[in-house]
Structure 1
């Protein structure tokens, strides 16, 4: 399985259009890499691809990665998409892909995410033919829609509900299925990828999934719970925004003790000090053997 990081940043990217924090200024000045909004692409053959979330930056991400570009006059190698939640940062790319012509998209998410997304006028067309938006059963594997479906045929996908909330535009409600992770492996192998770019806590269910994985992409949005408050960027804590802080006594790093999987933090907010390789926070992550995702990162699993 080929795993390609299309984007590694949280909403707004790095630099964010309306931000002049240290990390955004460094990225604008060429002293740090730019990052587009979080998404990953998977393929078993390098020809047909499954997207894990579809960010508003999808057009730029396609142009930066030749295997996702049109293979003929009109067409796409994108064979399907999985969504972890209904946040606009994770499915906003659908509105960019409206010039689909005769191509249909096969989309999947939890039932709750599907309902929230299709209630929005900009996403509603993707719930009607020629597209199909299927519901992923929680705590179960998804069945293939047809013989050409990557999911259920070549790729086995299990949907794992994680601690989280609905998006801000939906009241930020705690609800089962509001946020999910995906455990994915290629049929005939047991090398598991865990994609969990958003969660509010590492509970026992998520911890067990991380332990089963060979490769795990985890929520690295914020290093500390008061990160935005300390920087004067917002009045809300990391936890209130639906994320688990990386550092601290109750942070994700502590919950990862003893985990053998190759672990990579993604979905990095522009405020996160981990973006600076000279920072104490970056060092604390790398000392634990955990990596930090970057746009264009590619892994063979």
Structure 2
């Protein structure tokens, strides 16, 4: 099994659209968040951001898994319609609430379902499902759930366990244990340091929480203001110094 990082920025990527901040003007480039799971001849895309067609050929995807209903995680589904790829019965795994939102709450995505470009396959958080030789376990995550619920996804190939959780509002015993029980985890690193109004746990908090963990931890979903997005920054070096890692576009992790 291989995990390929397609994008490591928050939903709109870096540079942030219309932003003139120092970091966005510096030439840093990171795509919106997604990973591609390779297992033998199967390719499974986890999340489908709007810029996905700049990164991969969607004809080569065997299935898609969606973590939640925020545009940076599902917006690329539009390109599966007849105006672009016009796929046929591509499996899209998602929660029951996400399926209901696509079928009944959003006419544009209903077209994809009605025309059979995609086939939504609902899962239940906490219950395993299989794609090819891999076992997937959707884990309920606390996040802003305006239209559907949010999940992290645990992937097990029978030898190793990988946990992907790009969005999180706060840590719970369940999500903490899921990270600690994994060989590799790629988790929410939206902000480096936090303030009370921010809904994502800052990297500093997460590093303190997992400082004694044996899990290899990567931070992803980096906001354009997050200095960790810049490999030349002091904050980036500090993450590495403390034994953690930063997800990079194009990075491949082998299991």
TM-score using structure 1 length: 0.78
Give the match for residue 142 of structure 2: 163
- C-alpha distance in structure 2 between counterparts of 1:290 and 1:26, whole Å: 24
As a proportion of its length, which structure holds more strand? 2
Of the three residues 192, 198, 204, the one matched with 2:161 is 192
- C-alpha distance in structure 2 between counterparts of 1:4 and 1:160, whole Å: 21
The 5-angstrom pairing of residues 12-51 of structure 1 reads 12-27=12-27, 32=28, 34-45=29-40, 47-51=41-45
For the pair 1:88 / 2:71, whether they are aligned, the reply is: yes
Give the match for residue 179 of structure 1: 150
- C-alpha distance in structure 1 between counterparts of 2:49 and 2:86, whole Å: 20
For the pair 1:58 / 2:76, whether they are aligned, the reply is: no
Task: Decide whether aligned partners of structure 1 residues 219 and 102 sit closer, same or farther in structure 2, where only a CA change above 3 A counts.
Answer: closer
Give the match for residue 173 of structure 1: none
Alpha-carbon offset, residue 278 of structure 1: 4.1
- C-alpha distance in structure 2 between counterparts of 1:223 and 1:103, whole Å: 41
2:96–2:122 Cα contact (<8 Å) kept: yes
Give the match for residue 299 of structure 1: 253
Of the three residues 135, 148, 157, the one matched with 2:122 is 135
Alpha-carbon offset, residue 185 of structure 1: 1.4
Gaps of 5+ in 2: none
Of the three residues 175, 186, 201, the one matched with 1:244 is 201
Give the match for residue 268 of structure 1: 222
- Deviations 1:173-193 (CA, angstroms, capped at 9, x unpaired): xxxx7111111112xx23011
Task: Decide whether aligned partners of structure 1 residues 102 and 112 sit closer, same or farther in structure 2, where only a CA change above 3 A counts.
Answer: closer
- Deviations 1:92-143 (CA, angstroms, capped at 9, x unpaired): 000122233352210011112222343122222233352310111111102x
Task: Decide whether aligned partners of structure 1 residues 102 and 256 sit closer, same or farther in structure 2, where only a CA change above 3 A counts.
Answer: closer
Alpha-carbon offset, residue 276 of structure 1: 2.8
Q: Secondary structure at the match of 2:12?
A: coil
Of the three residues 103, 108, 112, the one matched with 2:97 is 112
Give the match for residue 123 of structure 1: 109
Q: Secondary structure at the match of 1:182?
A: strand
Alpha-carbon offset, residue 259 of structure 1: 1.4
TM-score using structure 2 length: 0.92
Aligned residue pair count? 251
2:47–2:67 Cα contact (<8 Å) kept: yes
Task: Decide whether aligned partners of structure 1 residues 202 and 190 sit closer, same or farther in structure 2, where only a CA change above 3 A counts.
Answer: farther
Of the three residues 209, 219, 225, the one matched with 1:255 is 209
